Homo-oligomer: A and B are copies of this chain.
Amino acid sequence: MKEVNNRKSQIIASSALLFQQKGYDACSVRDIANELNIEAASLYHHFKSKEEILSIICFEMAQKLITALDETNDIYFNAEQKIRMAIEQHVAIIANDLSKSAVFLLEWKRLNEPFLSEFKTLRNQYENGFKQIITDGIQEDVFDDVDAKFAVLSVLSSVNWIIEWYKPTGKMQPKEIAEKISDFVLGGLRKKLVTDSNYKQ
């Protein structure tokens, strides 16, 4: 019933931007306050610590990704379709909020316990979901017999890397980016025929 607390999300958005730009540790609560034209102490009316802001950003993004992956698993049955859809969703979520994504991907390490362990659990949950799709694909003989762990890491590192170069004003839109990445990684995943001219032994 509780509607979106606007001031809170404003602070979180500004924090995410600054955490992305300067890094969590190099960004002071006074930096954040300054961005919002308030005093540093005023932030503590909304949050009980700087780390809480970081944790909210990290867990919010993690939750979004996990939810999207669950939905994908519910809708599609074919492993290739699942991978395509999962990548598309992942790219869309990241492209939708680059700052928060960058914080989620890079600054989560600054979390302390118990946040840290909890975050790692969610992260593993998501990675395992991805891995499962690939494992299924191999089982169904749709994918080549690649090392599933490797494949997941390659796929995820590729899609996550877009935070380093994606610009919303650029020519390439999320959907197109996702397609290109899918094409590329599916090339590495798909069952290859031995008659393929360049196929090595």
Contact = CB atoms under 8 A, between A and B. Distances in A.
B188 A110 contact: no
Residue of A23, A156, A157, A191 with most chain B CB atoms under a 10 A cut-off? A157
Contacts of A153: 158, 161, 165
Contacts of A165: 153
Contact of A184 (B181, B188, B193): B188
A88 interface: no
Nearest to A184: B188
A153 B147 CA distance: 21
A168 interface: no
29 contacts: A23-B23, A23-B25, A80-B198, A144-B187, A146-B184, A146-B187, A147-B180, A150-B181, A153-B158, A153-B161, A153-B165, A154-B154, A154-B158, A154-B161, A154-B181, A154-B184, A157-B157, A157-B158, A158-B158, A184-B188, A185-B188, A186-B188, A187-B188, A187-B192, A188-B188, A193-B193, A193-B195, A193-B197, A196-B196
A109 interface: yes
Identical chains in the assembly:
2
Interface of A: 23, 25-26, 80, 106, 109-110, 142, 144, 146-147, 150-151, 153-154, 156-158, 160-161, 165, 180-181, 183-193, 195-199
Contacts of A187: 144, 146, 187-190, 192
B109 A184 contact: no
A195 B154 CA distance: 27
A55 B199 CA distance: 43
A147 B80 CA distance: 21
